[in-house]
Amino acid sequence: MLVAEAENLPAAYTRLTEKFKALWTFHQFLKGAHQTFLGDTPPHEIDFGGIYDRLRDVSGEVSIAAVSGSAREKLDRIETDLSLASKALRESEGRLSPSLLRRFFARVQPQDPKIVYQLLRFYFAQPELDNDTADKVDFLVTLAALRSDSAEPVARERDEAIRLFEAIVAGCDWPAIPEDEADALVAAMDELTRDVSRARSFEELVRERRIENMRTIKHSLGFALAHPRVLASMGMANARTRAVFHRLFEEERTRIQEAIGRVESLEREISHAGPVPEEFRRFHDFREEFSRLEDESNVRAGDLLALKNRVRGVLDKFDLGQVASDEIDEALEFDESSPEAASEHSGALKEAIEKVLATVEMGDGSLKGVAHMGLENWEVRAAKRVIAAGSRPVSDRDALLLEGAALRVRADDESGQWIRARKMGRALDALQGEAAETLRLAAEADRRFAELIAEVREGSLPEELKSLVRSRFRLLHAYTALWLLADEVP
């Protein structure tokens, strides 16, 4: 149906300008996600400038009393172009997983709340609802439900949240649900929110599946996700759950710090009798990494779980005497299915790894989808396992394969930049610093490759050994090429 036949032209013009804002914001978001994680641009091509110019040109025509037929035709053409743009953005967005959306907001932290509103309008304007879209909406609704005038994560008042979501879903064409069904969903989420608030400890929150119960009802919402009252309750529930989780998380961490004091006491006792075992050195290395994550405000449940396991491992092996093992378990235990084991990446290495993970995550699952990076099939599989585990490697082998691939890609990229800069007569000072860091990290990764290969040589499958050796040699090849370029500079 032509837009002019469905509504008066001023209203149609207003609706199309709002749609343009949502699509333009989403385009900018996709562009930022690609630049942040992949260093490239989205595959779609949309003439937003041309559409904007035509909207501006027709604005005067729709505001006059006598509307010409040409104004109707212009709005119809703009409507068609925006529909095509929406389809193109949706195809590009399909490669963006919910976890990548969360990582983008965690890194970029946009200050304008209207960005979140426009992204939600984009999703609610789509004709279909799948699980990934529901998860993305869930995350964005949480951000929208928080008050923008508070430094702390505080939820809006219910009436205010309802009015906000009414405006956001105004253009949504999903099937409406009966009001009594909305009442039941709101009551259920409010009750689960109270249940989460009653948790007295971190382990109670996890073991009794209170957060899991909330997640289950959210996954069952379907098209009810577009009901303003349901959205308001969901956003408020998410905000409250997040606050409770973080409070109990901090309490659990305090208890673990007390257990760490016991480990340090044990280490001092052992040191009086002779050399301190290697387990204590590894424990201190991990604890330093945990401290780094604390400094970056990037500690997650899995990091705390990993630290707890290191503490318990030391105490179980080297009896502290007055402290019983079951007492340590009682003090530290919580559900070991908690996601995301600790990450040990930082700086340039973290950035390189995120680029590989984002490429694999946004690809089609095949080697062809990541061909421009030259990843081996076992490296792609390792990346997929890391993504499935919440961006945390589940084994030392996966961690090393991922790091080696990421550093190889980084070294190849820097070699290309070096050659282009030299041809164009550009200064190489900035590249020298980046290359030095890459070479340092690659040398460390090569040392670890050598150690792991030596460990698995006896009794390992030929394919496993070959994959490690090939990944190591490919890293050495990229390392050597970059080193030769950097060595030319006096």
Domain residue extents for the chain: 1-95, 253-332, 347-487
Encode pLDDT of 15-58 as tens digits: 899 999 999 999 999 998 888 887 888 888 899 999 999 999 88
pLDDT of residue 4: 47
pLDDT of residue 344: 47
Q: What is the pTM of this model?
A: 0.66
pLDDT of residue 332: 38
Size (the chain), residues: 490
pLDDT of residue 122: 93
Which CB contacts under 8 angstroms, 24+ apart, belong to 49-54?
51/20, 51/78, 51/81, 51/82, 51/85, 52/20, 52/24, 54/78
pLDDT of residue 161: 92
**Pair of tokens at residue 289:** 């990494």
The residues, any chain, with a CB within 8 Å of residue 192's CB and separated by 6 or more, are 210, 213, 214, 217, 237
Cβ neighbours around 100 below 10 Å, total: 20
First to last CA, the chain: 70
Which CB contacts under 8 angstroms, 24+ apart, belong to 484-488?
485/415, 485/418, 485/419, 485/435, 486/418, 486/432, 486/435, 486/436, 486/439
Task: Report CA Rg, the chain.
Answer: 27
Encode pLDDT of 361-418 as tens digits: 876 555 565 677 888 888 888 888 888 777 777 788 888 999 999 999 999 988 888 8
Nearest to 237 by CA among 352, 302, 171, 156: 156
pLDDT of residue 296: 55
For the chain, residues with pLDDT lower than 70 are 1-7, 63-69, 150-151, 203, 206-208, 273, 293-305, 317-346, 363-370, 457-462, 489-490
Task: Tell me how far apart the alpha carbons of residues 443 and 479 are, in angstroms, rounded to a whole number.
Answer: 8
